[in-house]
Amino acid sequence: MRVNKMLIQIAISAALLLPAILFDKITGWFWVYMPLYVLSWGVAAWSVAVKAVRNISQGVVFDENFLMLIASVGAFVLSFVFSDYKTVLCAPGGGEIMMDGALVMLLYQIGEYFQSLAVRKSRKGIKQLLSMRPDSAIVERGGAEEEVFPDEVEVGEIIVVRPGDRIAIDGVIESGSSYIDSSAVTGESEPVYRRAGDSVQSGCIASDGLLRIRTTREFGESTASKMLRLVEEASEKKAKQETFITKFAKVYTPIVCALALVIAVIPPLIMTLVSGAVTPDGTNVWGNWIYTALALLVVSCPCALVISVPLTFFGGIGGATKRGVLLKGSDRFSPYAGATVIAFDKTGTITTGKFSVTETNISDEGLRLVAAVESNFTHPIALGITEYVKTRGRCEGAENLAGRGVRGTVDGKEILIGKSELLSERDIAHEEISSPYTTLYAAYGGTYLGYIIVADTVKPSSVEAIAECKRQGLKTVMLTGDRYEVAEAVAREVGIDEFYAGLLPEDKVAKVEELKARGEKVIFCGDGINDAPVLAAADVGCAMGGLGSDAAIEASDAVVMKDDLSSVIAERKHAKKTIAVAMENIIGSLIIKTAVMVLTIVLPYFPLWIAVIADVGVCLLAILNAMRTLRGKVAKSEPPKLTTPAA
């Protein structure tokens, strides 16, 4: 709405300015063109004047509003004071300085309009997050459905999510199934299928099925609410470039104003004392130099820096959010971009965190017997085996043999599954398999069935992510509490440069401190509560896999919603780009402004309107450059496939 008002203001000012210029240049009718110039200026200037007065009342005097107001008012004053009424003001073209004053304010407002459009675009990506937080939730109470505010839903209650609705609160599906669009939360474009027993996050959309979800968190602690809170807090933490610009503007603007005052007074005073106030061509020395000082004020306006640099980092945060990475502040960009080492936890970061069967020589019938026993246990290894074997026999009894394996009875015969020692105790002959991963041996009725190797498998994206680290010149390190043999195998598989195994949380912190002592800048990626200390110790801590662990989130500098290392690596490139854009805007703006400021002093009668075009032009170029940080290579979501996956 504000942008529309600005556009109307610009249109009216331009409509008044055009006939003023025509009357001025063609007829020289002073009492016709002068009121039109004043009205055109007034329409464009009133909002600037209001902001300038408000800022002055708050102790902020030297800002762009004040500079533009002084420059444009000064042009009118010069015209009235230093121009002869009969020979200049009433002659065709006599109101040129007035035209400059009105044109300065109109061009400034046009620049402000385009700046507003750019800011609106930069905020659009962030504001889209607001749609993730529903205004209401449908909850089952007393056998009926009731629509309530989400913060009124208690943990453990059932909420109903219809097709096309956004999930209001984190929970577990009690009944129903649906494709879930999680693009707003994780940046993942492809919908995922979820059924009863699966966890779902708030902010996601149920595409095609009715879901009954039992809530596991309060609304304020759900994924969408946390994301919004993190984004809101991020704007309060400034990058050092932003802090520099704020301090620079406070010193730079008063200095330029003082310089303009010196130029307006000292040269004409000297020239008046030497040769008089009127030059040989009939112009007034004081008017010429005051006009030059006004042009200097216009060009020196620091809005290109004051607007574009914060916009660069704001856009950078928005671009990161598109990738599913939430940075906790623009002050995180610099250490992220400057990192030389990236360290990883293993379980759940490089690997899936779930055991899977990677190799077995047991027949299908033998696996059916094994699964019959393992289905009685909830150990991660047992879950990995039962996930691998879809059909199983009927177990008549099962027992856990602590530290050795499990024993059960199927079809009246004993089945043993566990370490090699378990079979050796029963004198059951079997082969010995050499593997860094967990190897289970199975025997049924005293006869060896074969072996099963289970492992925490590497995520498909991890190998490419590590390769990208090397392409970016990053050294890779893995810190894990797992056994040496397992760590070595995983490090070899994904291409890690260094690894350290058998580490406690405090040992991981010590390793990171050791790397930092060598002068390295360290990013650490982890996903668990036990990673909180090392996340805090690293130069940049990345909490992986969304908003599950409060301790990890609190200690981290970035939260990676998509449980994928490629997001972490891509964000480092984005951070480097954001820093580069900010520095381009700072250095480029200062060079161009300095050059134009010199021209205003050196060249005689440097037009105000050209000065304001130079100022607005630099500002718009800097803003357009800043908008590059908003770009995110995020694929558009495909329409969900409605074929239900096999159970």
| 298 within 8 A of 612, measured Cβ to Cβ | yes
4-18, 46-60, 72-86: range with highest mean pLDDT: 4-18
| Contacts of 126 by beta carbon, 8 Å cutoff, 6+ apart | 231, 314, 317, 318, 321
Write b or e for each residue in 227-252: b if 16 or more Cβ atoms lie within 10 A of its Cβ, otherwise e: bbebbeebeebbbebbeebeebbeeb
For the chain, where do the domains classified as CATH 3.40.1110.10 start and end? 353-458
Percentage of the chain with pLDDT > 90? Answer: 21
More confident residue, 637 or 381: 381
Catalytic residue among 181, 345, 539, 557: 345
Q: What is the pLDDT of residue 618?
A: 81
6-20, 216-230, 537-551: range with highest mean pLDDT: 6-20
Q: What is the pLDDT of residue 279?
A: 59
| 446 within 8 A of 426, measured Cβ to Cβ | yes
Percentage of the chain with pLDDT > 70? Answer: 84
| 387 within 8 A of 356, measured Cβ to Cβ | yes
Is the model's pLDDT at 324 over the cut of 70?
A: yes
Residue 325 CA to residue 542 CA, distance in Å, equals 9
Q: What is the pLDDT of residue 491?
A: 93
Is the model's pLDDT at 642 over the cut of 50?
A: no
For residues 473-480, average pLDDT: 92
Q: Which CATH class is domain 353-458?
A: alpha beta
Is the model's pLDDT at 373 over the cut of 50?
A: yes
Edge to edge, the sheet with strand 211-215 lists 144-148, 137-141, 158-161, 211-215, 171-175, 199-200
For the chain, where do the domains classified as CATH 2.70.150.10 start and end? 137-226
For residues 56-70, average pLDDT: 77
Is the model's pLDDT at 646 over the cut of 50?
A: no
Is the model's pLDDT at 204 over the cut of 70?
A: yes
Q: How confident is the model at residue 69 (pLDDT cuts 50, 70, 90)?
A: confident
Q: What is the pLDDT of residue 643?
A: 41
* Catalytic residue flag (residue 181): no
Is the model's pLDDT at 612 over the cut of 80?
A: no
Q: What is the SS3 assignment for 491?
A: helix
Q: How confident is the model at residue 443 (pLDDT cuts 50, 70, 90)?
A: very high
CB-count burial class (<10 Å; 0-12, 13-18, 19+) for 50: exposed
Could you tell me the pTM of the whole model? Answer: 0.66
Q: How confident is the model at residue 645 (pLDDT cuts 50, 70, 90)?
A: very low
CATH number for region 137-226: 2.70.150.10
Is the model's pLDDT at 339 over the cut of 50?
A: yes
